[in-house]
Structure 1
Amino acid sequence: MYQSNIYEYLEGLQEEKLLICKDDKEAVQIRDIAVLLGFDTFVLPDLRVSVGEDLRAYDEEIHLLFIQLASFYKSTKKKILVSPLRTLLIPFPKAELFETRTIEFGDTLNMQELKDTLYQWGYHFTDIAASHGEVSFRGDIIDIYPIDADKPYRISLFDEEVETIQYYDEGTQKRSNDELESLTFTPAFLALNKTQHEALKSRTERSNYDTFVKDIDSLGLWHLDDLGESALTLFDGVLASALDDELKEVYELGTPLVPRESFLLPAIPEGHKYCDLEAVDPNKLLQSHKDKKITIIAKNESIVRGSELESFQNIAFVYQEGIVNLLGADRLILSLNKPVKRKKVKKATLVLDELKPGDYVVHENYGVGIFKGIEKRDVLGATSEFVVMHYQNEDALLIPVSNLEVVDRYVAEGGVLPILDKLGKASFKKLKEKVKEKLFAIASQIINLSAQRHLKKGIKLKIDMEEHAIFMAEAGFVHTEDQERAINDMLDDMSSGRMMDRLLSADVGFGKTEVAMNGMFVAVKNGYQAMMIAPTTLLSSQHYKSLKERFSGHDIKVAKLDRFSTTKEKNATLKGLQEGTIDVVVGTHALLKAKFKNLALVIIDEEHKFGVKQKEALKEISIDVHLLSMSATPIPRSLNLAMSEVKSFSEILTPPTERQGVRTFVKSYDDKVIKEAILREMRRGGQIFYVFNSIAGIEEKKKQLLEILPKLRIAVLHSKISAKETEDEMMLFGDGEYDVLLSTSIVESGIHMPHANTMIVDGADNFGIADLHQLRGRVGRGVKEGYCYFMVTDKERLTENAKRRLLALESHSDLGSGAVLAFHDLEIRGGGNIIGEAQSGHIKQIGYSLYLRMLEDAIKELSGQDKEVAQNIDMKLSINAYLNEELIEEDRLRLELYRRLSLCETTGEVYEIEAEIADRFGKLDVITRQFIDVIVMKVLAREKGISKVSSYGENVFIEFIDEAKERVVLKSPSKDDDDIIATAMGYLK
C-alpha cells in the first residue's frame, strides 16, 4: 500500500469516512497520515476471528474495539475510522451502548444500584481488581479498573458518601497521593440496561456455538440481534488497498449480518501528486529539495535536536507520533521518528500464592505436612489466629501467624508427591543436617570456581563503537531495551580486564542468541576465537544457522561440530580451531575435546541440561576465558541476590517487537474441534504440537487422529524413546517432514520451531496452571500468531477453581503474562537449574523453597557476606492480636499479608505494609493494629538478640538468645492489651 495514494485521497476529503485496510500494519500507516492532515483518527484492532468463535480469547482486542468505537461516536471534529477488513465481520454495537457514568467527590452512592449497573455493564467482581474490567467492593472501599483507564481507581466512602477518589497501582495495590475530583467509567462490555442484559444472557446460554462456557464474555457479540448492526451499512465504506485474496476469503465467510454484496467496495484511486520515500539521510534530502515547502515530523524537540538537521527558512515542525515520508512537486514530508518499541512485561510484585487447604507445605523444623487453613484459638484469655498443619497420623501443629516465615509451599520437580513427616521425631532434623552438608559442598564449589576466575586477569577486549553500531543495525530488527542493556553490560565486562561470568535469563525467542552474537563479534574482531555449546544437536544446528546468517559479510569463519558432522568435517574443524583458521564454532559436547589457538569467549546454552561429566569439562574449558551462560527459565530473585557476589545477571523480559501473543481457547473435547484446529493451522502452512500426557495411550491417540484426518503425518515422542531418536524426529519435524508432533509434555523447552504455531493440550484439566503456561509458550514464536487449545475431558466434573484457572489462561494470552499467572512455580524451577543439582533426591524430601533458602544461606556464609542467623522469636503476649476478618474478609488475602509481615526485617517494612492494609481495606481496627505492634516488637527483639517475649497477668518477660544473660521481668500498669503492649514496646525501643 502506498502512503502517497492515501495522502492524496485524504487531502481532498471533507466528510467522515470508514477506511478499510488489510491489517494492523496498514492501519497504522493510514493513521499517521490522517493525524498529520488534522483528522480525529480512530483505529480498530485487526480482529481475525471466525463467526461464533469464543471471544474470551480476544479480550484485549474487543476492549480496544469498544474504546475506539466509543471515542469515534463521541467525537464532533472532522473524523475518520480505520478498520482492518476482518474486523468488519463483527457486529458493531449501536452508539447508545457506549454511554459512560461519572462519580464525583462528595456524591452519595446508592450501592445496590451501582453494583447492578456494573454487573449489567460487564464488570467482573473480584477480591482484588488488578486487570481491566474488574471491580472489587470491600467495606467502605471500591476499586474499579475501567477498560479505557491507564490505572485503576480507588473510591473511599464515608457511609455512602464519596470521601476520596485516587489512582492505585494494580501491581502493589497501593494508592497514589493525588486526589481526583471525579472518575468516569465506561462499560467493560456494553452499557446494557437490566432488560437488555437478561435477554442477551439468555440468548448466549442457548447459543448453538460451541464454547467452554456459554456466557456474554464468550458469545455476547454474536447474539446482539437488534443491539448491533453491520459496519458496512453504518458507513459509506472505502477500500484502502486492493485486497483481492483477503476479500475473497472474507466474502466466503460472509455472515448473515454482512451480506456478500456489501463487500463490493470502491478502492482508493491511485494518486499522481506524491511518491513514497525511504528517508536514509535527512540532510541530503533537505539539501536537494530546499526550495520546497518542508514538513518535519518528530515525537518531540529532543529528537529534532539529536538529529542535527540543517536549518532552512521553509521548514515547519509537527510534533506527533508516526512515520510519513513523502515527496511531491512542491513539498517534502520527512519523519524523524523510529518504529515504536514493545513495552516491557510487568512482573507481578504481588504474587498471590494461592495456598489452598490440602496443599503440601514444609515447616523448617518439622518437615512436610498438609496445610489445613487458618483457625482462631483462645490462649491464656487472649485470641490469636494460627495456621493449622497436619502431619502423619493426623497429628496437628499450630503455628502462630506472626511466625509464618518458617513455612513454605512444598514444590518439587514434576509435581512429585511428598511423604508426610512425623511430628516429634528427630528424623527431619537429621535430614536437614545431611542436606546442609551437601549444600555446603555445592556452595563452596560455586565460590571456589568464582574465586579462581576472579584471581586471573581477564582477556581485555577493545570495542570499536562505530563498527559495533553497524553490526547492531544489521540485526534486521529493533533491539528491545533489555537486549541493549544485556549487550552493553556484557561488553563492559569483556573490556574491563576482569574475567566475565554472566548468566543471561530470557524466555525462548526473546533474543538471547542475538546478545551472544554481539559478544562473539567483539571477540573475533579482537583476533580471538569464540565457542558456543548447546545440549542437543537440534539446538546447535539452530544456532549454527543463525550465526552463519548474522556473520555473513563480516569475514568471520563459522563451523559446527555435532553428531551429524562427518569424520572428515570433524577433523577439519578440530584442525581449524587449533590453527586459528576458524573464528567461531558451535556444537554439542563433541566440542569439549577441541583445542583452540586463542579462545576468548565461551557461551553455554541451557547449562543445566548437560550431564555431570560434561559440566566438569565445561568448567575446565571456561576457567580462563570470558563466560556467558544462557537459560530459558527465570532465576529466583533470592538466589539471584545471594549469587550476585559470584556471577553477574542479565534478564530479558521484553518480547521482540514482531512477536505476537498466543490465542488460547478452552474447549470440551470434541473430534470436530480437533479437526478444525489442525486444518486451520495447515491452511496457513504451519505445524501442530499435540500434547497427550500418557505414554500407555499415545499410540491409540495416534490412531484416533488418523481416523479424523487419514493423511496426517504424525511423529510420536515420549520419554521412553532414546535421546538420539527423539532428536532425529525433532530435526525432521523442524524440516517440515511431519504435520503433527504428538508427544507427552516433554515438548522440548529450549527449541525454536517457527512453523509450529498451534498447540492442542489433551486433558488440560490434569495440568497445573504454570505447566499450561509453559507449554503454551512453545507456539507463536515467529511472526505468526499462535493458537493454543486446552481440551477438557468432562467440563461438568471440573471444580469451580479449575474452571476459573483455565478461563484466566484464556483471557491472559499476552506475552509474559506467566509472570502474573505462574511466576512462583517457574521461579522455583529455575533455581534448581542454576545449582545443577535439580535431580537431587534431597529436593524431593524438603521441597525447593527450603532447599533454595538453605543454599542461599550457605553461599552467603562461605562468601563472607554478612549473614545474620535468622532467629525465630517466640512472641507469647496474652493480647488479642490478628488481622481481623471483618476488615479483610478473604482468607487467602489475610494469609498472604501474614506471610509478608512475618518476613519483614525492619520496622520500616512493617509500617509500609500497615499503610498498604489501611489503603486497600480501610482504617485498621484495634485488633489488627495490635497485631502490627506484635510484628514490630518481633523485629526489634531480633535486633537486640532476644529469643522470647511473653506475658502472664501484669508481668512481661524478656528472654535472650545468650543464655548467660538474665531474663528481664517488667511490670505493666494493668493486664489490659494496650498497657502490656506499651510496656513491652517501651523496653524494646
Structure 2
Amino acid sequence: IDILIGTHKIANKDVVFKDLGLLVIDEEQKFGVSVKEKLKELKANVDTLTLTATPIPRTLQFSLMGARDLSIINTPPPNRYPVVTELIRFDEETIREAIEFEMNRNGQIFFVNNKIQNLYLLQTKIKKIVPEARIAVAHGQMPTTQLEDTIIDFINYDYDILLATTVIESGIDMPNVNTIFVNNANHFGLSDLHQLRGRVGRSNRKAYCYLITPDMKDVSDDARRRLQAISTFSDLGSGFNIAMQDLDIRGAGNMLGAEQSGFIAELGYETYQKILGEAVQELHRDEFADIIADTQQRQPTVFVDDCTFESDLDLMFPSDYISSTSERMALYGELDAIADEEKLDEFKSRLRDRFGAIPTEADDLMKVIPLRRRAIAFGVERILLHNGRMTLYLVSKPDSPYYRSEAFGKMISYVSRFPKSCRIGESSGRRYISVEPVNSLDTALRVLDKINNCDEA
C-alpha cells in the first residue's frame, strides 16, 4: 500500500507505518490540536500539508508568524459565480419567494437548522409556507442507512428541500442545489457559515445564501461582526479574508497550547502582534543574547523597541482631505507600521494618487515616522514636542548597557556642544534631554541628524 486514506483512526497507536513521507490533512478545521499533533508524531520530520477553505485562527497565526509556509489558491473552478449572500429575518413572504424561485428553475434547496429537537416543527412551518414543496429531514442522530437513503433520494430529485443540521457542511457536492437558508445564523461560527455557503453555487447557476437572524440589536457584538464579514466577503476565493476576520474576532489561541482560538479581543489583533513582537525582542536581548551574539555583532544594537511621540502641532489626515473616518483610521494604522523610507515614499505616492495633493498637516504627520525611527537608534523611548521644546526620554532602566553605548555617547556630546539650548534632567526616575527651540518636525529631524554626526565635528 502506497497511500492510506482514513479518518482520525490513523492517529491511533495500533496503526504503524513503514516509511511515512507525506501527511495530508484535509478539512483541517475539523481536527483538534491533540489529533493533529498525534498525526505529526507518526514520524519525525514528516512533510505535512494541511488543506482548508478557512484556516482556524491558530493555524493561520502560525503561517503569519512564518512558522509555516502558506499557499493560497485564488483561482475558482471554471464557470462559477459568487454566491449572493443576504441577511434576512424569518419572514414567510421572503422565504416563500426564494424557495419558489429556485423550484421554478428546477433547482433544490438546503435549509439548515442546528437544533435537532425543532427540525420537525420547522418542517411543518416550511410546509405551511410552501405547500407544494417536497421536504426531507436529515441529521446526525438518524440511523446511518436512513440518513444515507434520505441523501440519495434528495440527489435523485425525490425532494425539493433538504432540512438538515450541519451534517451537510462538508463532503457534499450537489450541483443542482443553488439556494441555502441558515436558520439562526448568529449562532454559527464564521468558518461554519463559509463552509455551509460553499454547499451551493457548485455549477454554472447563480446561487443564493440566506442567513436568517433575529433583529441585529438583539445579536451579540461578535455575532454581528461574523455576519458582517460573511456578507461582505462573498466573492469566489474569499476564504482567506474570512479566516483573517475570524482570527481578529476570536484570537489566535495558544501558540504552544491546545486552544485554537481565544484572546486578544480586549487588545485587538494589531496590538497583540505588537506586544508579541516586543516580547520576542526582549527575549533576544536577555534570554538568548549568547545564542544570537554573532547576529547582533553584525547589526547595530537597538535598546528600545518603539518610540512614542506626542505633540501640540497639527498632525493629522484632515477630514476635508479624507472624508471617511474608517479610511482615516486604517491609514493611521498603516502609517504607524511603516518601517523604512522606501515604504513611506510608496505610501505618500498612493495618497497623492487617491486623494490629491498632500496638505501640510498630513505631510508633517508623515515626518513623525523617520523621526521615531532615528530616535529609536539613540535609545529614545518617548518624544514630547510641546511649546517649542523637544524632550527626549531615554531608556528607562538605569542599569541598561545603553548608558555605556556609542548612541548615548553621541547624545552627551551633543549636549556638551550646545549647552545653551540643551538640558539633561530626570523626572519620576526617567532621564531625559530637552532641546529648544524646536518648533517643527523639520527642526526635530535636523537635531537628530546633528546628534548622529556629533562625533564627526
> What band does the TM-score fall into relative to the shorter chain?
0.5 to 0.7
2:424 equivalent in structure 1: none
1:780 equivalent in structure 2: 201
Q: Residues 875 and 938 of structure 1 are in contact (CA less than 8 Å); yes or no, is this contact kept in structure 2?
A: yes
SS at match of 1:603: strand
State which of 763, 771, 789 in structure 1 corresponds to 2:210.
789
1:630 equivalent in structure 2: 51
1:616, distance to aligned residue in structure 2 (A): 3.8
1:932, distance to aligned residue in structure 2 (A): 1.2
1:642 equivalent in structure 2: 65
Matched to 1:586, the amino acid is: I
Instruction: Show CA shifts across 1:86-111 (max 9, x none).
Output: xxxxxxxxxxxxxxxxxxxxxxxxxx
Match runs of 1:65-214 below 5 Å: none
1:959 equivalent in structure 2: 393
1:619 equivalent in structure 2: 40
Identify if the C-alpha distance between structure 1 residues 852 and 725 changes in structure 2 by more than 3 Å, giving closer, same or farther: farther
1:735 equivalent in structure 2: 152
Matched to 1:889, the amino acid is: S
Identify if the C-alpha distance between structure 1 residues 933 and 988 changes in structure 2 by more than 3 Å, giving closer, same or farther: farther
Matched to 1:914, the amino acid is: K
Identify if the C-alpha distance between structure 1 residues 987 and 672 changes in structure 2 by more than 3 Å, giving closer, same or farther: same
Count the aligned residue pairs: 395
1:879 equivalent in structure 2: 313
Task: Please tell me whether Structure 1 or Structure 2 has the larger radius of gyration of its CA atoms.
Answer: 1
1:587 equivalent in structure 2: 6
1:926 equivalent in structure 2: 360
1:896, distance to aligned residue in structure 2 (A): 0.8
TM-score (norm 2): 0.66
Match runs of 1:205-604 below 5 Å: 582-592=1-11, 593-604=14-25
Q: Residues 375 and 448 of structure 2 are in contact (CA less than 8 Å); yes or no, is this contact kept in structure 1?
A: no
Q: Residues 691 and 762 of structure 1 are in contact (CA less than 8 Å); yes or no, is this contact kept in structure 2?
A: yes
Instruction: Show CA shifts across 1:24-52 (max 9, x none).
Output: xxxxxxxxxxxxxxxxxxxxxxxxxxxxx
1:754 equivalent in structure 2: 174
Identify if the C-alpha distance between structure 1 residues 776 and 708 changes in structure 2 by more than 3 Å, giving closer, same or farther: same
Q: Residues 752 and 781 of structure 1 are in contact (CA less than 8 Å); yes or no, is this contact kept in structure 2?
A: no
Return the structure number with greater relative CO, CA threshold 8 A, min gap 6.
Answer: 2
**d(CA) in 2 for partners of 1:702, 1:869:** 67
Identity score, percent = 31
**d(CA) in 2 for partners of 1:642, 1:797:** 37
State which of 425, 444, 453 in structure 2 corresponds to 1:981.
444
| 2:324 paired with 1:893 | no
Matched to 1:761, the amino acid is: V
SS at match of 1:898: helix
1:651, distance to aligned residue in structure 2 (A): 2.1
1:335 equivalent in structure 2: none
SS at match of 1:690: strand
**Structure 2 unaligned residues grouped into runs of 5+:** 297-301, 422-434, 453-457
**d(CA) in 1 for partners of 2:275, 2:90:** 44
SS at match of 2:332: helix
1:888, distance to aligned residue in structure 2 (A): 1.9
Identify if the C-alpha distance between structure 1 residues 817 and 929 changes in structure 2 by more than 3 Å, giving closer, same or farther: same
Identify if the C-alpha distance between structure 1 residues 951 and 758 changes in structure 2 by more than 3 Å, giving closer, same or farther: closer
Matched to 1:735, the amino acid is: I
Matched to 1:751, the amino acid is: G
TM-score (norm 1): 0.34
**Structure 1 unaligned residues grouped into runs of 5+:** 1-581, 718-722
Instruction: Show CA shifts across 1:419-441 (max 9, x none).
Output: xxxxxxxxxxxxxxxxxxxxxxx
| 2:136 paired with 1:714 | yes
1:610 equivalent in structure 2: 31
| 2:124 paired with 1:703 | yes
1:784, distance to aligned residue in structure 2 (A): 4.7
Matched to 1:898, the amino acid is: Y
**d(CA) in 2 for partners of 1:934, 1:985:** 12
1:948 equivalent in structure 2: 382
**d(CA) in 2 for partners of 1:607, 1:835:** 18
Identify if the C-alpha distance between structure 1 residues 692 and 885 changes in structure 2 by more than 3 Å, giving closer, same or farther: same
| Superposed CA RMSD | 4.8
Identify if the C-alpha distance between structure 1 residues 809 and 973 changes in structure 2 by more than 3 Å, giving closer, same or farther: closer
Matched to 2:135, the amino acid is: R
Q: Residues 639 and 856 of structure 1 are in contact (CA less than 8 Å); yes or no, is this contact kept in structure 2?
A: no
| 2:341 paired with 1:907 | yes
Matched to 1:904, the amino acid is: I
Instruction: Show CA shifts across 1:599-655 (max 9, x none).
Output: 433222234433454334312214254432222225887742533xx5433221111
Matched to 1:919, the amino acid is: D
